[in-house]
Chain A
Amino acid sequence: DSGVTQTPKHLITATGQRVTLRCSPRSGDLSVYWYQQSLDQGLQFLIQYYNGEERAKGNILERFSAQQFPDLHSELNLSSLELGDSALYFCASSPLRGLAGNTGELFFGEGSRLTVL
C-alpha cells in the first residue's frame, strides 16, 4: 500500500460525458502528479501540482483539467469524453517539489480505470 488513494477504482461512462477522478496523496506529500496509461500510448505524464500550484504540464488535453485543494487532495476533470480517453489514470505523490533529494521516487496509487462507451 503506497498510501495514495484514488477513487473511483472503476468508472464506465458514455462519450460526451464528464467525470472527476479524485486523489488523496500520502500524508505530508505536497506534490501530486497525474498520469494516463493506455495500451497504445503507454504511461503519459499529464500534470503536476505542488502545494496547490501547477508546477509542470505534460500532454494534457484542453478537455482535461486538474486542481489541488488546500487539504492537498487533487481532482482530475475529464470532459467531452471520447472513446480514446479510455485508460488507467494514475495519481502519484511525492514530498518534494521536484525529483531531487533522497530517492526522488513517486508513490503511485492503484489507479482509476475509465471506460468510455
Chain B
Amino acid sequence: SQELEQSPQSLIVQEGKNLTINCTSSKTLYGLYWYKQKYGEGLIFLMMLQKGGEEKSHEKITAKLDEKKQQSSLHITASQPSHAGIYLCGAPPSGSARQLTFGSGTQLTVLP
C-alpha cells in the first residue's frame, strides 16, 4: 500500500521566516493534495497538483510536484501566526482510487 512520508514532523519558526514541508510517496503519485488542519478541527483544502513539474500558489503558500522523485514540497513565504497548524499531504493510493491516503502531518508553529 502507498505510504506518504512528511518531513519534518514538526517545525517552529519565527514570524516572517520562510519554510518548506516535504511529502514523499512510496509509490507513483496520481495527484497530490495539500490540506491544513487547525488542532482538533476539520481539514481545509489548500491546493491540488496533478502533473509533474506543476506549481501552484495561494497567497503566500506555494506547492510543487516532482513526479519523478514522487514527492511534493509546500513552501510558505514570510510566515505569519495564521499559518500555524498541521499540514497534511494526501494522494490517491492508485490511479483509479476514489479516496485519499494521508501522510502523518507536519505541525507548524509560528512564533510572533
Contacts and interface: CB of A to CB of B under 8 A. Distances in A.
Contacts of B82: none
B45 A99 contact: no
A58 B48 contact: no
A56 B99 contact: yes
B100 A88 contact: no
Interface string A101-114: 00111111111010
Contacts, number: 61
Interface residues of A, number: 28
Contact of B42 (A48, A99, A105, A111): A111
Given A42-B103, A99-B92, A105-B33, A110 B41 contact: yes
Given A55-B98, A90-B42, 7 more contacts: A2-B42, A31-B98, A88-B40, A99-B98, A99-B99, A99-B100, A108-B42
Given A42-B105, A103-B48, A104-B48, A58 B99 contact: yes
B103 A110 contact: no
Contacts of A31: 98
A30 B23 CA distance: 30
Tell me the interface secondary structure of chain B in the complex: loop
B95 to A, nearest CB: 10
Contacts of B45: 103, 105-107
A42 B104 contact: yes
27 contacts: A4-B42, A31-B98, A42-B105, A43-B88, A43-B102, A56-B98, A88-B40, A90-B43, A92-B43, A98-B96, A98-B97, A99-B31, A99-B92, A99-B97, A104-B31, A105-B33, A105-B48, A106-B45, A106-B100, A107-B45, A108-B35, A109-B42, A110-B41, A110-B42, A111-B41, A111-B42, A113-B40
Interface of A: 2, 4, 31, 33, 42-43, 45, 48, 50, 55-56, 58, 88, 90, 92, 97-99, 103-111, 113
